[in-house]
Amino acid sequence: MSAIIGTEWLNSNSLRNYPLSQLATQQANNSSFEMPNELFVDMKLAVPYIAGLKPAGFYISSITVYPQGFVFELGYDGEFQAPSIAVSSPVAFAGFTQNTSVTIKGISSGSIYDFSQISGVAIIGDVTKLQGAVGTLTFNLAGSRLESTVISFGLKRISGIRVVNSGFTTPVLSGQISLQSGSNHSIAVTSSSEYSSLKFNAVDGGGLAETCDCNDIELSPCIRTINGLLGDAQGNFTVVGGDCVTVSNGANSISISDTCAKPCCGCNELQVVVTDTENLNNRLTELALQITQLASSVATLQNVCLSSSTDPTSCAQDPG
């Protein structure tokens, strides 16, 4: 009988905690469950390169067990910390075959680093000890750190491009991407033995503009200064209110209001004032007429009195 020199790779891993780090405790945070050696027997994770990303920061963050099967998630603990960066495809208990391969796909983690471009594969050795543990088992870096050799960094390159336009950000664009010029714009490509460069040019009348019916319309000169004052670096000019004056924006307008002289009465109160004024004016007219009549009467009285004469002896006493 020949001597046994060694066991197969996956069988060897079922007897140790690889692909976890040798220092991993394999202990869950929220239960007494301890991750069995034979659950994961191999793993490979492809991660786009970025400075500051450490291979020792990746770990199995959770295992969610259902009656029908389970899924597991990977996390990262480091400068770009994220509790969930990738998720596996579901593993079914029914009909499970030893050493089954499952795919791992990166997800958007909300971190400043985009983990969505991660991809990988894991080999599940045996799921017997996982069955019956329904729920989510969580782990930290110390409990389920992945061995550094499991992580394979891509070349230092641009892994994808996002386009930001008017506050909207596109998903990550990867693969072969074409840059296309638009109206009044051109892109020049310069190549050398060392590198290639793109030069973006704004073109005036280069035949790239769309036809416009307003080309022959002469526009009025724009406002350049107000009372000789220029705007700021962006051309903005701010109108500031002072005491009793407020400035507010409207639809294509600016409203300047005097808050100190704002009327305190409404239309109903104003109508009362108008009616009383009209009545007073009528009474003044009547009073002026009466004054005229009185003046006429006084003048008549004066004429009568002045034209009258008396006999000096008319009041003398009769001799007795």
80 lies in which domain range? Answer: 9-153
Cβ burial of 118 (10 Å; 0-12, 13-18, 19+) is: buried
Instruction: Look at residue 71 and tell me if it is in a domain.
Output: yes
For 33-51, write each residue's pLDDT tens digit.
999 999 999 999 999 887 7
Instruction: Look at residue 28 and tell me if it is in a domain.
Output: yes
Above 50 in pLDDT, residue 1? no
The answer to whether 117 and 172 are in contact (CB under 8 A) is: yes
Question: To which residue do tokens 């770009």 refer?
Answer: 80
Please state the pTM of the whole predicted model: 0.54
Is 6 in a helix, a strand, or coil? coil
Total number of domains in the chain: 1
User: Within 10 A of 270 (CB to CB), how many other CB atoms are there?
Assistant: 11
Instruction: Look at residue 165 and tell me if it is in a domain.
Output: no
At residue 258, the pLDDT reads: 81
For 121-160, write each residue's pLDDT tens digit.
999 999 999 998 889 999 999 999 999 999 998 876 677 7
Residues 6+ apart with CB under 8 A from 178: none
Strands 151-153 and 40-47: parallel
For 252-261, write each residue's pLDDT tens digit.
888 888 878 7
Please tell me which residue, 222 or 146, carries the higher pLDDT value.
146
Give the integer Cα–Cα distance in Å for 134 and 66.
5
- Work out the mean pLDDT of the chain and round it to a whole number: 85
At residue 23, the pLDDT reads: 93
Cα–Cα separations (whole angstroms), residue 306 to 277, 292, 300, 311: 43, 21, 10, 15
Instruction: Look at residue 188 and tell me if it is in a domain.
Output: no
Instruction: Look at residue 42 and tell me if it is in a domain.
Output: yes
Rounded mean pLDDT, 73-80: 92
